[in-house]
Amino acid sequence: MIQAKTLGELKRSDYRVRSVKDELRANLIEKLRDGERIFPGIVGYDETVVPQIVNAILARHNLILLGLRGQAKSRIIRQLTNLLDEEIPIIAGSEINDDPFHPISAYGRQVVEQLHDETPIAWVGRDSRFVEKLATPDVTIADIIGDVDPIKAAKGGHLLSDELTIHYGLLPRANRGIFAINELPDLAGKIQVGLFNIMQEGDVQIKGYPVRLPLDVLLVFSANPEDYTARGKIITPLKDRIGAEVTTHYPADLQLGVEITRQEAWLKREGIAGTLRVPDFIRELVEQIAFEARDDSRVDKRSGVSQRLPITVMESVVSNAERRALLTGETDVVPRISDIYAAVPSMTGKLELEYEGEQIGATKIAKDLIKRAAGEIFEGYFVGIDFTRTVRWFDEGHTLRLADTASAAECVTLLEAVPELVDTVTIPFDFKRTDDAQLVSACEFVLEGLYAQNKISRNEEGGYTAATKAKKDRRGMIYDDLTETGRYS
């Protein structure tokens, strides 16, 4: 299709202007009929969040996504642009995407009055019709709505009250598009007043001068539920004008989390030392760490535990395994439990701790989460399998340390000295006994599982030893765990 270059050509092309909400609705309906995925790459929301967003768009509602950090709120908001037309016509030179047939700015009206059908037309792509702003306490009305520009007034010989002197803010520049504000409760009250005036009445006062701006825009917000509902940071009239509140959530089950991390983690690396193979139990264990953290009373529930935690941990785990392969000259890169411990720095910054947790320290809590996660995953793989002889070997005073820089061949030599371990570990897994890299990873997983069950101990250097007698009875086990994490010492 040949794009019109003037208003006259646009009229002759029978182009029909739609409001942005009608446009989104029509394109959404088409995608639904064609069976297209509405939000590609968003996993775990098909039965919960996505239907609610679809309903809001079909109803032509402004909406807010309520959820903790790392729940894909920003990604969903940005993907709404895929529901816009590829391009729309505007009056060339308009700062606020003026509709050629119904301009709302003083500039747009003057151009059409002077040039009529010769009014020049420009075409704007969908990405240019999306404006996003992170709300912070220092955001002003000038940032969002606009302000008087004295330079414009001086150059044009206008009075300051003339609409032509306005320097438009972000919201007017999103006209005929999508305007998104992240962390809405952080906006000052007077900015929120300006927003709901625009939403409801289409007018605003700039430096005391009333200006009519009947904007055509879809407003989308995001917020933490704690800030939005409990602390009174949202003014009631604005909240009343938001059509739909959609609550996001973390993955409902482990496999969904694994799928998200598999999709998002950067594991396809150029120049990696060898062939990368990540065992399923490693993927599950990394994901279980996030699940354990979300249930831990020492971690702040109001902040949540972002899905970025397992993603960055998995990237760090693979990096440590890659480093080992580079040092040992191995061609197989297979992560182990020791690589997860090496990834503790990727966890600590993502854990917002309660007072009790701060007293213990993020590093100790991260290691405790690894231990508990290993116990959960271990039970799923080795339920009913007896490692009595393995445990007895440690009780007899033997120790075993598998350094995270030791080659698979070196580790196998050490592991073969442990009764039943090497022969038993392959039972739930589909790999050959001769696959040293996988064997070492699986054996270390078993040792960590036995440690999680308090049948053996693990020291700060990563060596496995006999469990103390206190750990083997229930009362002693609880006391020992608290001592180990620093709660009692």
Asked if the model's pLDDT at residue 487 lies above 60, the reply is: no
pLDDT value for 475: 34
Cα 250 to Cα 143: distance, rounded to the nearest angstrom: 33
Using a pLDDT cut of 90, give the percent of the chain over it: 66
> How does residue 486 score in pLDDT terms, banded at 50, 70 and 90?
very low
pLDDT tens for residues 315-330? 999 999 999 999 999 9
Cα 167 to Cα 147: distance, rounded to the nearest angstrom: 5
Using a pLDDT cut of 70, give the percent of the chain over it: 89
Mean pLDDT of 256-277: 88
pLDDT value for 382: 93
pLDDT value for 415: 95
Asked if the model's pLDDT at residue 127 lies above 90, the reply is: yes
pLDDT tens for residues 74-114? 999 999 999 999 999 999 999 899 999 999 888 899 999 99
pLDDT value for 151: 61
Q: Where are the domains of the chain?
A: 7-247, 254-485
> How does residue 488 score in pLDDT terms, banded at 50, 70 and 90?
very low
pLDDT value for 163: 65
pLDDT tens for residues 278-301? 999 999 999 999 999 999 999 998
pLDDT value for 485: 45
Q: Distances in Å between the alpha carbon of 85 and those of 25, 26, 89, 177, 281?
A: 11, 10, 11, 10, 44
pLDDT tens for residues 389-440? 999 999 999 999 999 999 999 999 999 999 999 989 988 888 888 889 999 9
CA 208 and chain centroid, separation: 41
Asked if the model's pLDDT at residue 476 lies above 50, the reply is: no
Asked if the model's pLDDT at residue 481 lies above 70, the reply is: no
Q: E-assigned strands of 28-150?
A: 63-66, 87-91, 121-125, 130-134, 146-148
Tell me if 322 sits within 8 A of 84, measured CB to CB: no
Q: Which residues contact 271 (CB under 8 A, 6 or more apart)?
A: none
pLDDT value for 203: 62
Asked if the model's pLDDT at residue 368 lies above 70, the reply is: yes
Cα 73 to Cα 108: distance, rounded to the nearest angstrom: 35
Q: Which residues contact 460 (CB under 8 A, 6 or more apart)?
A: none
> How does residue 478 score in pLDDT terms, banded at 50, 70 and 90?
very low
User: For the structural domain made of 7-247, what CATH number should be given?
Assistant: 3.40.50.300
- The DSSP element (H or E) to which 465 belongs, if any, is strand 463-466
Mean pLDDT of 365-375: 96
> How does residue 14 score in pLDDT terms, banded at 50, 70 and 90?
confident
Joined together, the tokens standing for residue 420 give: 């039943």
Tell me if 471 sits within 8 A of 391, measured CB to CB: no
pLDDT tens for residues 175-210? 999 999 999 988 888 888 878 777 776 666 666 666
